[in-house]
Structure 1
Amino acid sequence: MVPASDPTGSRFDAITRALAHIAWITDAEGHFTAPQPTWSAYTGQPWEEHQALGWQKAIHPDDLQAMWQGWLSARANRSLFIAEGRMWHAPTGRWRFFEVRAVPNTDEQGEIRQWIGTCIDVHDRRTAEQAMRVADRRKDEFMAVLAHELRNPLAPIRNAVHVLKVCRDDDARSAWARSIIERQVDQMSRLLEDLLDVTRIARGKLEVRRERVDLNESLERAIETSRPILDAHGHRFHAQLPQEPMLVEGDAPRLAQVFANLLNNAAKYTDRGGEVGLLAGVEDGQAVVRVRDNGMGIEASMLPHLFRMYSQAGPARERAQGGLGIGLSLVRGLVEMQGGTVEARSEGPGRGSEFIVRLPLLHAIAPAPRPPEREASPERLRVLVADDNHDAAQTLAVLLEVMGHEVRVAVDGQEAVETAFSFAPDVVLLDIGMPRMDGYAAARRIREKLPGTMQIAITGWGRREDMREAAAAGFDHHLVKPVDPDQLARLLATVQRPSPADAPH
């Protein structure tokens, strides 16, 4: 260290006090020979503790030996010394990563007189880099699993299509093949919807309706949705719902989605023939729903991370059952958006698990009367289908013809308008992204000439803003691909045939 009487010493001391990091000088042997103010401020070591080699006590014991060996090598070679390690940070009472750099200061004979160095706190940078590496790894794993999960349903679909090609329509195997295709398409649809929902939640774009809901009805819908997977795994399922309504403020379909996800999760991660239960009731002014299973359980270390995006309870669970690791993240997002909480409990691997959802309970009031439903339309409808995807348009047209309707097909927006004017359809099913004229413009043109025609947007865009834009363009309904045939049939059953005055002239 430069002696205190040396005027350069006072200049060095002034410089170090102006720096945000630690600056120091040692003698040729690495000893502090004078107080180092910035070192003391960071480590909390007074001069009596960091003098000579006392500074080593502020270095993490696991890092000290390698760092000292590196410095000895640099001293022998009279070269730049660079190393990283952990240093005690007195203000936070924690070990923090730092980077040290030092250069030897030599005399006229080339002998080292002193070392001049700095220590820079890199803890935050290293933490951020580590978080980015973890995020990148999770992203890569997620994309690999996504590809796997999307390919899985394609194999039975392809096989079933081949069966349909070689079997007669009245062959029992044809009916079996059709059920396979329907089930696998439903699985892919649910997978994509969950993925889109959790992405919307992360971006703050998902909207939920807040209205008075009897939670029992959402639970019954969830049980109905999950019953096939519970039965497929041979589980013994029991549900216990209260006799009285449990009124909460929420979105009924989203609440059903929450509990269906939890039941599906329990079914997947419980060995065949296990037990799954759903118990609901009122506790401390809250509606409380517990989904329990006697399945594989969850390690205690995983519980705090279970509701994070892409999180799963270990590689073995992932290999055994697949899944994107988004289901529980979606559950938490939907529950919290409706003012509730969700927690997971487990006594460990092989001991089963329990998921508990709590929602604020409303005071019991008379249920709002339901609006009268329109009677089903018995007529054969004229339906126009417009989609630039020829396969999509033709398959939907065939489906509508099977339902007993008269159908015309257009493959772009301009053709859809022209066909609508000549065909005078009762219903128009329009894709949005079409050449020559998009679905929104086509809907406006058709609405001007045929105001009584029901217009339904059929599109892959399913955000709230997409639905609002469709309504503004004149659409009566908005369906997201792939369209559920039963849902479409229910919509068509509400069509009111236009009066003769509404027909084009």
Structure 2
Amino acid sequence: MAAIQNSLEVISGADESSRNAIIILKRQVRHMARLVNDLLDVSRINRGVLRIEREVVDVKQSVQAAVEAIRRQVHVKGLALEFDLPASPVHVEADPERLAQIWDNLLSNALKYTEHGRITIKVQKDTAEALITIRDTGIGMNPDQTRTVFDTAHQTEDGARRGGLGLGLQLVKRLVDLHDGTVEFRSEGPGLGSEVALTLPLSRSVLPAVSSSAEVAMPASRRILIVDDQPDIADMLGLLLESMGQKVRVAYGGDNAIEIAHERRPQVAFIDLSMPGISGAEVAKRLRQEFSPSQLTLVALSGYSADHPAAQGMQFEHYLLKPATYETIVALLNSLPVN
């Protein structure tokens, strides 16, 4: 708070002084905002009320965006940034805001505890997981201390001097757990730097085809309508269906879904239930007034299980739990009569 108060006192001064004061002010406000958000999110996780809104995210782009946010601070400290990134996207199903929060905490930690040298960010993937590694040449710690860095009360004496509440790594661990991933902290000793390695499951909807999938017959080509208010999710499902030879149109919400259906005359409609405005249930009701089940198959997409109260009474022929897998969609389309 002292840094903010003193910065405000000189904002009305000379131009150069004002600019420097504003830079300090923004940095301190961002730091305090992150501390407050971390406190709130740890509290939400402990109470079981933190929601994860999953969508398909390219880890490579997500990490690069986080690095851009701290690039100036890295430059001011005279540190080098090194990247080892794959050429192709690395897709996971995750909450993009929570992923950004993970990278922000890890990169801020690396920056805080590194006075010289470099920060290295590496992204890899295998057949099932994305592996992200952030390594620094900072102060490091005794290897026997690394086992407790994710504990609630863990904070080093040096960490307290540098500012912070010791919540960053705890929050990272909890957020990674909510994404069904793993995280590990490593250091070979004081002065030898640190490394954080985490894994996240790859998006099943964009996993490369394996032999068992290759043996499944591709479904007959149909006109398909996707109705979802989240463009990234809708577009990714569209790409997946097009890779199966389907003819796809997308409506980003219920407002124009009916109009597109009038024009396109789809044979199958994948409809998200959790849309603002005209709900998925209302879209299905209006479509059913015009198209019989033999003309149009309605498929509900939802994060709720089919027996959840919110899913009861829906007039859909099929119900898919998000995220629907490649194999599930192929099997569903193959089960439909060709009309």
The answer to whether TM tops 0.5 is: yes
1:251 counterpart = 2:95 = yes
Counterpart residue identity of residue 56, structure 2: R
Structure-2 change in CA distance of 1:199 and 1:278 (3 Å): same
Structure-2 change in CA distance of 1:221 and 1:177 (3 Å): same
8 Å contact kept, 1:292–1:352: yes
Q: Please tell me the root mean square deviation across aligned C-alpha atoms, in Å.
A: 2.2
Residue from 301, 311, 326 that aligns with 2:154: 311
Counterpart residue identity of residue 360, structure 1: P
Per-residue CA deviations over 1:114-140 (Å, capped at 9, x if unaligned) read xxxxxxxxxxxxxxxxxxxxxxxxxxx
Structure-2 change in CA distance of 1:224 and 1:371 (3 Å): farther
CA distance in 1, matches of 2:178, 2:109: 21
8 Å contact kept, 1:277–1:292: yes
Alpha-carbon offset, residue 322 of structure 1 = 2.5
Residue from 160, 180, 189 that aligns with 1:348: 189
Greater relative contact order: 1 or 2 (C-alpha under 8 angstroms, separation 6 or more)? 2
8 Å contact kept, 1:276–1:293: yes
Per-residue CA deviations over 1:274-308 (Å, capped at 9, x if unaligned) read 21100001135210000111211121221111101
Per-residue CA deviations over 1:82-139 (Å, capped at 9, x if unaligned) read xxxxxxxxxxxxxxxxxxxxxxxxxxxxxxxxxxxxxxxxxxxxxxxxxxxxxxxxxx
Aligned to 1:279: 122
Structure-2 change in CA distance of 1:283 and 1:345 (3 Å): farther
Per-residue CA deviations over 1:302-338 (Å, capped at 9, x if unaligned) read 11111011312x32x2244232100000000111101
Task: Report the 3-state secondary structure (helix = DSSP H, G, I; strand = E; otherwise coil) of the residue aligned with 2:11.
Answer: helix
The gaps in structure 1 that reach 5 residues or longer are: 1-153, 373-505
Residue from 12, 27, 39 that aligns with 1:195: 39
Counterpart residue identity of residue 236, structure 2: P
Task: Report the 3-state secondary structure (helix = DSSP H, G, I; strand = E; otherwise coil) of the residue aligned with 1:239.
Answer: strand
Residue from 142, 149, 162 that aligns with 1:299: 142
| Matched ranges for 1:423-502 at <5 A | none
1:185 counterpart = 2:26 = no
Task: Report the 3-state secondary structure (helix = DSSP H, G, I; strand = E; otherwise coil) of the residue aligned with 1:324.
Answer: coil
Aligned to 1:163: 10
CA distance in 1, matches of 2:106, 2:22: 28
Alpha-carbon offset, residue 225 of structure 1 = 2.2
CA distance in 2, matches of 1:177, 1:269: 24
Aligned to 2:178: 337
Identical-residue share of aligned pairs (%): 40
Task: Report the 3-state secondary structure (helix = DSSP H, G, I; strand = E; otherwise coil) of the residue aligned with 1:367.
Answer: helix
8 Å contact kept, 2:128–2:201: yes
CA distance in 2, matches of 1:338, 1:326: 18
CA distance in 2, matches of 1:345, 1:279: 15
Alpha-carbon offset, residue 359 of structure 1 = 0.7
Aligned to 1:212: 56
8 Å contact kept, 1:218–1:253: no
Per-residue CA deviations over 1:240-267 (Å, capped at 9, x if unaligned) read 2211111111111211211221111111
Alpha-carbon offset, residue 211 of structure 1 = 1.6
CA distance in 2, matches of 1:284, 1:345: 24
Structure-2 change in CA distance of 1:172 and 1:353 (3 Å): closer
Per-residue CA deviations over 1:67-86 (Å, capped at 9, x if unaligned) read xxxxxxxxxxxxxxxxxxxx
Rg: which structure is higher?
1
The gaps in structure 2 that reach 5 residues or longer are: 208-234, 239-249, 253-339
Structure-2 change in CA distance of 1:319 and 1:250 (3 Å): closer
Task: Report the 3-state secondary structure (helix = DSSP H, G, I; strand = E; otherwise coil) of the residue aligned with 1:265.
Answer: helix
Alpha-carbon offset, residue 371 of structure 1 = 8.4
Counterpart residue identity of residue 198, structure 1: V
CA distance in 1, matches of 2:152, 2:45: 11
Per-residue CA deviations over 1:222-242 (Å, capped at 9, x if unaligned) read 112232332232211111221
Alpha-carbon offset, residue 212 of structure 1 = 1.5
| Matched ranges for 1:28-427 at <5 A | 154-165=1-12, 167=13, 171-270=15-114, 272-312=115-155, 314-315=156-157, 317-363=158-204, 364=206, 367=236
Alpha-carbon offset, residue 350 of structure 1 = 1.5
8 Å contact kept, 2:132–2:199: yes
Structure-2 change in CA distance of 1:229 and 1:309 (3 Å): farther
Counterpart residue identity of residue 367, structure 1: M
CA distance in 2, matches of 1:286, 1:215: 11
8 Å contact kept, 2:116–2:138: no
Counterpart residue identity of residue 156, structure 1: A
Structure-2 change in CA distance of 1:354 and 1:213 (3 Å): same
8 Å contact kept, 2:116–2:137: no
Task: Report the 3-state secondary structure (helix = DSSP H, G, I; strand = E; otherwise coil) of the residue aligned with 1:351.
Answer: coil
Structure-2 change in CA distance of 1:182 and 1:305 (3 Å): same
8 Å contact kept, 1:279–1:290: yes
Aligned to 2:218: none
Alpha-carbon offset, residue 184 of structure 1 = 1.9
Counterpart residue identity of residue 6, structure 2: N
Structure-2 change in CA distance of 1:220 and 1:305 (3 Å): same
Alpha-carbon offset, residue 209 of structure 1 = 0.8
Structure-2 change in CA distance of 1:225 and 1:310 (3 Å): farther
8 Å contact kept, 1:343–1:356: yes
CA distance in 2, matches of 1:159, 1:371: 52
CA distance in 2, matches of 1:348, 1:160: 38
Task: Report the 3-state secondary structure (helix = DSSP H, G, I; strand = E; otherwise coil) of the residue aligned with 1:358.
Answer: strand
CA distance in 1, matches of 2:111, 2:190: 16
